[in-house]
Homo-oligomer: A and B are copies of this chain.
Amino acid sequence: MAEPIRFTAGSLAPFVEQALIAGGADAASADAATRAMMHASRLGVDSHGVRLLPYYLSVIATGEVNGAPELRLERAAGSAAILDADGAIGHLACYRAMAEAVAIAREQGVGAVTIKRMSHMGAAGAYALWAAEQGCIGFLTANSDAAVRLHDGRDAFHGTSPIAWGAPVPGQRPWLLDMATSAIPMNRVLLYRSLGRILPADVAVDEVGRVTTDPHAARVLSPVGGEYGYKGAGLAGLVEILSAPLTGMALSTELKPMYGVSTGRPRDMGGFALAIDPSAFIPAPIYEGIMTRYLESIRAAAPAEGAAGQPMAPGDREWAVEAERLKNGIPVDPDTVAAMEQLSATHGLTPPVRA
Contact = CB atoms under 8 A, between A and B. Distances in A.
Interface in A157-173: 157, 165, 167
A294 B244 CA distance: 9
Contacts of A242: 137
A237 interface: yes
A177 interface: yes
B150 A311 contact: yes
A205 B175 CA distance: 26
A195 interface: no
A114 interface: yes
B245 A209 contact: no
A107 interface: yes
Contacts of A150: 298, 301, 311
B107 A77 contact: yes
Interface in A258-308: 274, 276-278, 280-282, 286-288, 290-291, 293-294, 297-298, 301-308
A108 B281 contact: no
B110 A314 contact: no
Interface string A291-333: 1011001100111111111111110000000000000000000
Nearest to A227: B200
A251 interface: yes
A328 B122 CA distance: 51
Contacts of A107: 77-78
A66 interface: no
Given A225-B224, A253-B297, A294-B241, A77 B152 contact: no
Given A183-B228, A241-B291, A245-B294, A80 B281 contact: yes
A273 B177 CA distance: 20
A148 B226 CA distance: 18
Contact of A77 (B108, B200, B208, B287): B108
B109 A79 contact: yes
B78 A79 contact: yes
A77 B136 CA distance: 15
A179 interface: yes
16 contacts: A78-B108, A79-B110, A109-B112, A114-B282, A150-B298, A152-B310, A153-B311, A157-B301, A175-B241, A177-B237, A205-B304, A234-B314, A241-B291, A245-B287, A247-B281, A248-B287
Given A77-B109, A80-B281, A246-B281, 19 more contacts: A76-B109, A78-B78, A78-B107, A137-B241, A137-B242, A152-B304, A152-B308, A153-B302, A153-B307, A155-B301, A177-B235, A209-B307, A224-B228, A244-B290, A245-B288, A245-B290, A247-B281, A248-B287, A251-B293
